[in-house]
């Protein structure tokens, strides 16, 4: 049975009468008021309620409060026990979640209920809906300008142990044997005692923990043989082959080992792949099969993030994270640009202009983004050709046809086939040119040839634009997203999560991004309120100074009166100060 409250209708009486004026003012200056008034009513409870029956079963906990609790847990980077305590005893949480009763039915939730709600919200569509509802609401309330955005990625770690290759083999084999013993004890006992004791006893594990570097390859060979033995033994046993631990064991063998047939002995030979041949998306830890490896940042996951920004120092605008995509660490940034743009456009938060580093700015991405109505500002990847003359120095028409070289000489012949072009210049002209050594035109049978296609033209023009002051002035704002990544981690702890698996990691990272938006909106609202009160605060400070030095000011005016008489503006000022 579904239980929800109406959080949009205002209360006739103050639901928190026990809060004094000072505590009330402080709690309203925090994130709690913004959360209560804007975020809580906008949470997508209608999507979560589909998981419950409308009339049967015990009533659920108040669903708005539960979704809000999960969001606040990630916002403050709390464990489950800490979140349960905050929900039960923290007045600020009660105010934010509109919990107006002290009864256990309203102000208490057990950890199991929290786990259940999190498992429901781990559905990518649901936690993405929470992020979207928060972001869309804040963007509308604070009139956020989404036309200019920038993107980057951040590497994060799940709650898994970092294993070497030997540790990876040992842990994967042990996990399979533990599950085999638990679910199919007869099959486990049928294994050779030597093999099972090697991984299921403390003495066996100690052997693998003290392997010398010179013996590591021999040890890996032994481990690979054991993996092959187990995979082959149970591949035709349907109950065992269906076990997730067996699937992980099989995946480990396929990614880390090589199986070869020896014709001389008519036997199968197993060897271990060298490190460079192991794919980056290979198994990193049996406890987290979704994690992968990035050669620069290591094991784990990465989060693609897009955010709004403003260019003018006088622009007082709120900056929000508009898009979040969580993916394994081995995925290239080059594949993230278009999905991020499409994600923001679905929320009506799509940009007109995006700043990105060179990994995102491939020519293919630039053209796809242009088809979506988005201009991508990004340097061209790779070092430019070390010549003084490039294709961009040639005079071209709007359709990309060369009309003259940098020295002003027209071509002798032009060929055009699909998007490939070939321009021929006279040999007599080119051989006499003082800049021949720097020219990209190369000698051929009938002259000097300049061959290029449409992509080459676009890249050459982009390289030329990179050196202009306009590009540099526009692109300098991309570096601001590094501060966002730092804030993302400092305030929410996103770089080191307490969960494992892509769905759980995506849930945490997405809600933590929504939390950053709430923190930013709270700070922005406070800053606006202070600026609006600036004249009043200035007068208050002046009156405070007058009150502090009242006696000294009156004595000074008395001295002036002795010299100028009792009549004049100074006398009226003295009367006002005395009053």
CA dihedral 156, 159, 165, 168 (to 10 degrees): -150
Is residue 3 included in any domain, yes or no?
A: yes
Same domain for 175 and 59: no
The answer as to whether 408 is a domain residue is yes
pTM of the entire predicted model: 0.84
Query: What is the reported pLDDT for 94?
Result: 94
83 & 25 share domain:
yes
Same domain, 182 and 99: no
174 and 226 housed in the same domain? yes
Q: Are residues 105 and 199 in the same domain?
A: no
In contact, 350 and 328? CB cutoff 8 Å: no
pLDDT, position 565: 61
Give the integer Cα–Cα distance in Å for 287 and 505.
13
My answer on whether 258 and 196 are in the same domain is yes
pLDDT of amino acid 343: 93
Strands (E), 464-526: none
Which residues is 392 bridged to in the sheet?
none
Task: Check whether residue 88 and residue 34 sit in a common domain.
Answer: yes
- Residue 28 resides in a domain: yes
pLDDT of amino acid 536: 53
pLDDT attached to residue 11: 77
Which segments within 118-251 are labelled E, that is strand? 148-156
Residue 447 lies in a domain: yes
- Cα–Cα distance, 579 to 573 (Å, whole number): 10
> Which residue, of 277, 303, 321, is where some domain finishes?
277
Claim to verify: residue 13 and residue 115 sit in the same structural domain: yes
197 and 115 fall within a common domain: no
At 575 the pLDDT is: 58
Residue 112, pLDDT score: 94
What's the pLDDT tens digit per position in 291-305?
999 888 889 999 999
Task: Give the model's pLDDT for residue 413.
Answer: 84
User: Taking phi first (over 0 means left), then psi (-120 to 50 degrees means alpha), and beta for anything else, what does residue 3 get?
Assistant: beta
Tell me what the mean pLDDT of segment 217-233 comes to: 90
Report yes or no on 299 lying in a domain: no
24 pLDDT higher than 60: yes
Q: What is the pLDDT of residue 483?
A: 93
Which residue, 242, 277, 312, sits at the end of a domain? Answer: 277
Strands (E) in 250-397, as ranges, are 257-262, 267-272, 292-294, 298-308, 321-328, 353-355, 375-377, 395-396
Confidence at 410, pLDDT banded by 50, 70, 90: confident
Q: What is the pLDDT of residues 457-514, one digit of tens each?
A: 888 888 888 889 999 999 999 999 999 999 999 999 999 999 999 999 999 999 999 9
563 pLDDT exceeds 70? no
Mean pLDDT of 401-420: 83
Residue 202 has pLDDT above 90, yes or no: no
**Quick one: pLDDT at residue 320?**
95
Which of the residue ranges 42-56, 261-275, 288-302, 512-526 would you say has the lowest mean pLDDT? Answer: 261-275
Q: What is the pLDDT of residue 577?
A: 53
The answer to whether residue 462 is domain-embedded is no
pLDDT of 333-373, one tens digit each? 999 999 999 999 999 999 999 999 999 999 899 999 999 99
Contact 344, 353 (CB under 8 A): no
- How many domains are there within the chain? 4
170 and 98 in a common domain: no
Instruction: State the pLDDT at residue 3.
Output: 86
194 is a domain residue: yes
Number of CB atoms found within 10 A of residue 579's CB: 5
Answer whether residue 231 is part of any domain: yes
| CA–CA distances in Å: residue 526 to residues 28, 75, 342, 563 | 10, 19, 33, 50
- Average pLDDT over the chain reads 87
Are 102 and 179 members of one domain? no
The whole-angstrom separation of Cα 160 and Cα 495 is 13
Q: What residue numbers bound the domain in which 555 lies? A: 535-578
Q: What are phi and psi of 530, to 5 degrees?
A: -65, -40
**112 and 203: one domain?**
no
Last residue of one domain, picked from the residues 432, 457, 482: 457
């Amino acid at each position: 049975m579904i239980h929800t409250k109406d959080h949009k209708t205002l209360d006739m009486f103050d639901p928190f009468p026990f809060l004094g004026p000072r505590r009330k003012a402080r709690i309203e200056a925090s994130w709690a008021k913004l959360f209560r008034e804007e975020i809580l009513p906008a949470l997508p409870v209608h999507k979560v309620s589909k998981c419950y029956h409308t009339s049967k079963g015990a009533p659920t906990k108040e669903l708005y409060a539960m979704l809000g609790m999960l969001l606040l847990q990630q916002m403050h980077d709390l464990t489950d026990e800490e979140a349960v305590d905050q929900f039960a005893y923290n007045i600020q949480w009660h105010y934010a979640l509109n919990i107006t009763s002290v009864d256990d039915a309203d102000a208490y939730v057990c950890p199991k209920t929290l786990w259940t709600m999190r498992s429901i919200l781990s559905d990518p569509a649901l936690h993405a809906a929470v992020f979207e509802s928060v972001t869309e609401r804040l963007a509308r309330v604070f009139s956020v300008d989404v036309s200019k955005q920038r993107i980057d990625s951040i590497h994060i770690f799940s709650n898994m142990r970092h294993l070497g290759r030997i540790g990876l083999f040992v842990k994967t084999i042990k996990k399979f044997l533990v599950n085999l013993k638990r679910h199919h004890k007869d099959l486990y006992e049928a294994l050779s005692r030597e093999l099972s004791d090697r991984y299921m006893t403390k003495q066996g594990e100690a052997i693998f923990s003290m392997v010398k570097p010179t013996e590591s390859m021999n040890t890996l060979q032994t481990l690979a043989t054991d993996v092959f033995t187990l995979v082959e033994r149970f591949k035709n046993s349907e109950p065992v082959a269906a076990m997730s631990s067996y699937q992980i064991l099989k995946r480990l063998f396929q990614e880390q080992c090589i199986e070869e047939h020896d014709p001389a002995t008519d036997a199968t030979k197993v060897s271990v792949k060298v490190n460079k041949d192991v794919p980056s998306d290979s198994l990193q830890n049996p406890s987290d099969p979704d994690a992968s490896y990035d050669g620069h940042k290591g094991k784990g996951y990465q989060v693609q993030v897009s955010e709004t920004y403003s260019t003018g120092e006088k622009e007082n605008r709120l900056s929000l994270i508009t898009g979040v995509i969580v993916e394994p660490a081995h995925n290239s940034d080059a594949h993230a640009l278009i999905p991020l743009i499409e994600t923001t456009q679905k929320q009506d938060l799509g940009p007109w202009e995006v700043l990105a580093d060179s990994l995102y700015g491939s020519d293919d991405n630039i053209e796809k983004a242009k088809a979506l109505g988005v201009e991508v500002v990004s340097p061209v990847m790779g070092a430019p050709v070390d010549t003084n003359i490039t294709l961009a120095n040639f005079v071209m028409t709007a359709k990309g046809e060369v009309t003259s070289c940098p020295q002003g000489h027209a071509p002798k012949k032009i060929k055009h086939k699909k998007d490939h072009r070939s321009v021929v210049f006279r040999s007599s002209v080119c051989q006499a040119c003082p800049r021949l050594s720097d020219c990209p035109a190369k000698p051929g049978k009938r002259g000097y040839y300049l061959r290029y296609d449409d992509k080459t033209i676009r890249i050459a023009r982009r390289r030329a634009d990179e050196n202009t002051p306009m590009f540099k002035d526009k692109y300098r704002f991309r570096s601001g997203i590094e501060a966002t990544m730092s804030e993302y981690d400092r305030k929410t702890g996103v770089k080191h999560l307490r969960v494992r698996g892509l769905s759980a990691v995506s849930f945490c990272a997405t809600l933590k991004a929504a939390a950053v938006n709430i923190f930013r909106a709270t700070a922005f609202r406070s800053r606006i309120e202070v600026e609006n009160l600036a004249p009043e605060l200035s007068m208050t400070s002046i009156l405070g100074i007058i009150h502090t030095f009242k006696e000294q000011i009156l004595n000074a005016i008395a001295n002036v009166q002795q010299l100028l008489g009792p009549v004049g503006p100074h006398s009226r000022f003295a009367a006002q100060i005395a009053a």
